[in-house]
Amino acid sequence: MSATTGAIEDRLEEIPPDEDVPETRPPRWGWTVVARKELADHLHGARWLILLLVLALAAAIPLYFASARIRDAASAATGAPAVFLALFTLGSTDFPFLRVNAFVGIVAPLLGITFGFDALNRERSERTLPRLLAQPIHRDDVINGKFAAGLAMISIALIAMIMLVAGFGLFRLGIVPTSGEVLRIVVWVVITLLYVAFWLALGTLLSVIFRRAATAALVGYGLWLLVTIFGGLITSLVGGAIASTSAATTVDAALQAAQIQQLVDRLLPSTLYDEAALVALDPSVTRLSVPVTIGQLDQAQQQIPTLLTLDQSLLLAWPQLVALFGLTILLFALAYIGFLRQEVRA
């Protein structure tokens, strides 16, 4: 027995220690591998072409009306400040939503939902999620990579659309932007990407909750329709019902009712984005809140029209940006935690 034990011990001594055996460890930046694969799939898919077509329409239609109005008022607009920004804020007088910034605010949620509603449930329905998680990457790299790839695709298309509008203003209308106007456009693009990230996080959350992509898409587009199209009507009814209880018979009561209505409207992410985008693209906007007292109303009426600097405009829209960023983080955190806790079976 002792000889056998000694032979086994001698054999074990010949085996190299565990630290000499190479180990396969997950890469530190594993989400970039998933993001590159998702980007390649998006670029070779029909969804990318549809995205470019939608953004081209979002730029061409409002740009036609904006250029017509700028051309009609060319003599009065010569030398006026922030003329280049008018390409993004002007549009049809009969249809207020036919402006570049307003049209992008309507289309951006669709893009986020489109690239997020089947991010994970598609892998589950095709039975490729177990094989994907069997690779030497961390589990959270999957959802991080898919979210980053979707946001990158939308960013590329959105920046291309902005450059198209800017190029039209340069070559067709002869409008040269100043450095301040360029910075405001960059800030507006960042705000728009934050708004897209909110809806992309919502679409990713729906792909985690619902196992069928069709159900996630139906719920996502339904929420977009409810918030973007009917959200203003619903908040007006709710705000009007709340304000009617105060019996607005005086000016102060009417101002308080208007402030309540504005607070209810700001429960919608579309309202937060519209206000932040308006401040970024229009330096003449100096107030977003409704005056609370008669004194503030008089001050607002007596205020001399002026143009804010970029830092002053960002300070004015800072609450909206913080609220929108917080909502985005909340939705993505829910999707993140839900995906990590889900059971994946082969």
Q: Is it the case that residue 155 has pLDDT exceeding 50? A: yes
Q: Is the pLDDT of residue 12 over 90?
A: no
Q: Both ends of the chain: CA-CA distance in Å?
A: 46
Q: What is the mean pLDDT of residues 43-65?
A: 74
Evaluate whether 223 touches 269 at the Cβ level (below 8 Å): no
User: In angstroms, rounded to a whole number, what is the distance separating the alpha carbons of residues 311 and 249?
Assistant: 39
Contact 112, 208 (CB under 8 A): no
Q: What SS3 state is found at 91?
A: strand
Look at residues 157, 160, 66 and name the one whose alpha carbon lies nearest to residue 108: 157
Average pLDDT over residues 25-29: 62
Among 42-56, 124-138, 217-231, 256-270, top mean pLDDT goes to 217-231
* pLDDT recorded at residue 195: 94
pLDDT band at residue 8 under the 50/70/90 scheme: very low
Determine the average pLDDT of the residues in 234-260. Answer: 64
**What pLDDT shows up at residue 179?**
84
Across 47-61, 171-185, 249-263, least confident range: 249-263
The pLDDT tens digits of the residues spanning 313-337 come to 888 889 889 999 999 999 999 999 9
Look at 71 and 53; give whichever has higher pLDDT.
Answer: 53
- Measured in whole angstroms, the distance separating CA 63 from the mean position of its chain's CA atoms is 22
Work out the average pLDDT over 277-284.
87
Closest C-alpha among 66, 181, 59, 162 to residue 74: 66
Alpha helices in the chain (DSSP H): 2-14, 30-43, 46-72, 74-77, 86-89, 100-114, 121-125, 129-133, 140-171, 179-209, 213-224, 231-244, 251-265, 269-281, 294-302, 310-316, 318-341
Least confident residue range of 25-34, 239-248, 302-311: 239-248
Report whether pLDDT(145) > 80: yes
Nearest to 89 by CA among 56, 109, 62, 54: 62
Q: Is the pLDDT of residue 292 over 70?
A: no
pLDDT band at 244 (very low <50, low <70, confident <90, very high): low
49: alpha, beta or left, given left = phi > 0 and alpha = psi -120 to 50? alpha
Confidence of residue 304 (pLDDT cuts 50, 70, 90): low
Q: What does the alpha-carbon distance between residue 3 and residue 7 come to, in Å, rounded to a whole number?
A: 6
How much is the pLDDT for 27? 60
The predicted model gives 125-153 an average pLDDT of 84
Gap between the Cα atoms of 130 and 238, Å rounded: 46
- Per the model's pLDDT, the better-predicted residue between 240 and 164 turns out to be 164
pLDDT band of residue 54 (cuts 50, 70, 90) is: confident
Q: What percent of the chain has pLDDT over 70?
A: 68
- Residue scoring higher pLDDT (190 or 52): 190
Dihedral sign, CA of 311, 315, 317, 323?
positive
Output DSSP code: residue 289: S
Confidence of residue 40 (pLDDT cuts 50, 70, 90): confident
| Count of other CB atoms within 10 angstroms of residue 289 | 15
Q: Specify the range with the lowest mean pLDDT, choosing from 7-11, 28-32, 205-209, 333-337.
A: 7-11
